[in-house]
Structure 1
């Protein structure tokens, strides 16, 4: 038994500079040279890259009890608190059980009219020959949908401030994760002052939302906030309510926002796939035209979304920390090792995907995968994303509305680099030109 081989043969700080410049390229090179697992040889801790489905299944599912959230989640918790994304052990189990019923398909279908209405209102404000910057527009649209659907709020101040908080919060978290030297938060740097202001704003905005809901006696609103208020005390448990709302607003809307951005970008560059998709959605004018039970009349739409999330997985990396020594392949993983399960690498692994860099929705016509952990757009194991169904529903409805109304023409290069923070963001603006279908 031996530890994973270190990559590459440079100093740790030289490697850190390359890793910070492009984590995905750095990890891709490491996997190509040494396979999986491979020690990433960084000064920010003992990190090994996992790019093999068997090994990912072992860490995330089969032996998940030996793996806890990585050290980086302490930085995530500075912004999101101790919600479902960061909680551990019994606390996580209790919170997951409390919220699970709200994310059953039958409950989520009750939210679809609000999603459809918000999307339709947005589409109605667009015109032929408009240039649409997808990365910013989809960010605002999906956050609006979540605010309308999960906490029934149309407060413009919440929308504006939460959008700013999401962007700054991600950069703040990732900068602390990737930096070996971290100043204590009490030191009044510019970033720290902005962080404290952001958290104070979040507390105030969420408190206002709770107060407004509590003032509606006998409200029959069914949403995430209603569930939280029915299970928790609005005053005593404010921090827990805040943490769960922040988690869903940040993590939930980012997945859908980036999923829509990358999907519309791909369609603009593949007019033949876009035309085939239009044939499926052209006559779906109202929400009632869709089969909301299983989207049986939107099979190709589903394939397009799945393939887009394969090529550009919004959650591109899941990190777990070994509590005790373990074995992966021929390597021994010592306690304390942090394992980067690269969703991006799994989704582009040439041993499991034919022509992995080609956008081909037909590969999802059937599910004859070689390994069930080769495709993990929402993670795997017991901590599989609770909001996966909502994200798919939302993207499906928005995609129907976009493609039925407009032909998309590319304005950005076909190949776009990455700015992988907690999510797989593009490193430049992503834009399309709209052309009315009718």
Structure 2
């Protein structure tokens, strides 16, 4: 299917008014990205407030790195995330963010992430066992990958804590994302955060119960064996100030890692499996690589360097369907980007979905081509942002990549996936870029 294109969003050719923008944002945030963002470095507008979408790498560098403190996360982003994950690394700004990042960074060293890989291999084995039960019929790979990655993230955060209801936590997180994480009309009007958004008030009750349960687990930890992510965070401190996280700070960051760490990787894997079914030539090549390295066993961290094509598929899936399809910032000071004046208070958006498909930056950008990430092919900085970039680049990037390679290699070595007619997933961005309707694929033994 080299000349066919995998599913993509149809971006609007004409500017949207306030009401249409609100409807689009509630339905699918990709629908607010103008088609012009695929062709030009900046697109600006004014619906209740001034906004700019940037796809020019030098301007993106200025926002994400050179003037980081002048472009904090937008109030809408914080309003959506804060009820679930508090003032964690994903929400905090300035000095508050810096000390948390310094305290948490040692947790995600290569050694610590590698030490967590057996949990990922065990989850891959269990996923393969479940999928084997679907041989000869279709199964929803999105649901399977959500299950697998939630097993991983819960095992590396709350291992051995029998009193913690993981199923209830998963339900609470999904309920919050599905019900409260959509843009409110109050957000579109730029009303302050203290004006209640009813859906978030309702959903936050369930999350508050989960926070209390997590607090109890944290306070009960005292053995200090450093067996999981929670133990590593409990032992962590800011090397500059020697400050350690309090129970609420630990809890908010753990919940942030759970929210961000399982869904984004699950989506990447689900899209990657769909793309492999979409292009059987890619799938055959990946399977040959995986079988040559693994034989009959499950993948492990020590196999990753020997699985470069599997990694390329993951990188290309992240390009075509970045989990964070739009990054939103607020300008604290006047500035100029791409020759356009930026006023204090303007919203500056980085439409990652459009950036990754820019006609100015990528060849055949809508095609699925893992070889664009082959060894020796250099991707220009700030043109590819699946994990963000600059000082705030995702702290769990190496964790996510390791997990995705282990699970994808294990599955492709054992199974052949083919498309189900009439079941084409469409990319829909609410908080993350999800395949609407799931990823239904036929499953057969390899």
Answer whether contact 2:414 2:445 (CA < 8 A) is retained: yes
Measured in 2, the distance between the counterparts of 1:9 and 1:429 equals 30
1:207-266 per-residue CA deviation (whole Å, 9 max, x = no partner) reads 34225533xx3x52332211232248xx99221111111100001112111111100111
Answer whether contact 2:38 2:357 (CA < 8 A) is retained: no
TM-score (norm 1): 0.88
Tell me, which stretches of 5 or more residues in structure 2 are unaligned? 1-12, 238-243
Measured in 2, the distance between the counterparts of 1:77 and 1:367 equals 41
Measured in 2, the distance between the counterparts of 1:42 and 1:189 equals 23
Task: Identify which range, 402-411 or 173-182, moves more after superposition.
Answer: 173-182
CA drift of 1:154 comes to 7.0
1:15-61 per-residue CA deviation (whole Å, 9 max, x = no partner) reads 4334444432431424257x332224333x33211122222112111
Answer whether contact 1:148 1:154 (CA < 8 A) is retained: no
CA drift of 1:177 comes to 7.5
Measured in 2, the distance between the counterparts of 1:414 and 1:354 equals 28
Q: Does 1:399 align with 2:404?
A: no
Q: Does 1:220 align with 2:192?
A: no
Answer whether contact 1:303 1:365 (CA < 8 A) is retained: yes
Answer whether contact 1:321 1:339 (CA < 8 A) is retained: yes
Answer whether contact 1:140 1:163 (CA < 8 A) is retained: no
Q: Does 1:46 align with 2:50?
A: yes
CA drift of 1:421 comes to 1.4
Measured in 2, the distance between the counterparts of 1:329 and 1:184 equals 30
Measured in 2, the distance between the counterparts of 1:258 and 1:288 equals 21
1:323 to 308, 332, 336: 332
1:271 to 275, 280, 288: 280
**Aligned residue for 1:109?**
114
| Counterparts of residues 249-398 of structure 1 (less than 5 Å) | 249-283=258-292, 284-285=294-295, 292=302, 295-369=304-378, 371-398=380-407
**Aligned residue for 2:429?**
420
Measured in 1, the distance between the counterparts of 2:444 and 2:139 equals 11
**Aligned residue for 1:61?**
65
**Aligned residue for 2:443?**
434
Measured in 2, the distance between the counterparts of 1:333 and 1:21 equals 28
Which SS does the other structure have where 2:348 is aligned? strand
Measured in 1, the distance between the counterparts of 2:295 and 2:30 equals 40
CA drift of 1:302 comes to 1.0
RMSD: 2.9
Answer whether contact 2:44 2:51 (CA < 8 A) is retained: yes
CA drift of 1:124 comes to 1.9
TM-score (norm 2): 0.86
CA drift of 1:65 comes to 3.0
Answer whether contact 1:185 1:192 (CA < 8 A) is retained: no
How many residue pairs end up in the alignment? 423
**Aligned residue for 2:152?**
145
1:202 to 210, 223, 226: 210
**Aligned residue for 2:74?**
70
1:191/1:231 Cα in 2 relative to 1: closer, same or farther (>3 Å)? closer
Answer whether contact 1:418 1:426 (CA < 8 A) is retained: yes
Answer whether contact 2:38 2:355 (CA < 8 A) is retained: no
1:177/1:264 Cα in 2 relative to 1: closer, same or farther (>3 Å)? farther
Answer whether contact 2:186 2:197 (CA < 8 A) is retained: no
| Counterparts of residues 135-174 of structure 1 (less than 5 Å) | 135-153=142-160, 158-171=165-178, 172-174=180-182
CA drift of 1:146 comes to 0.6
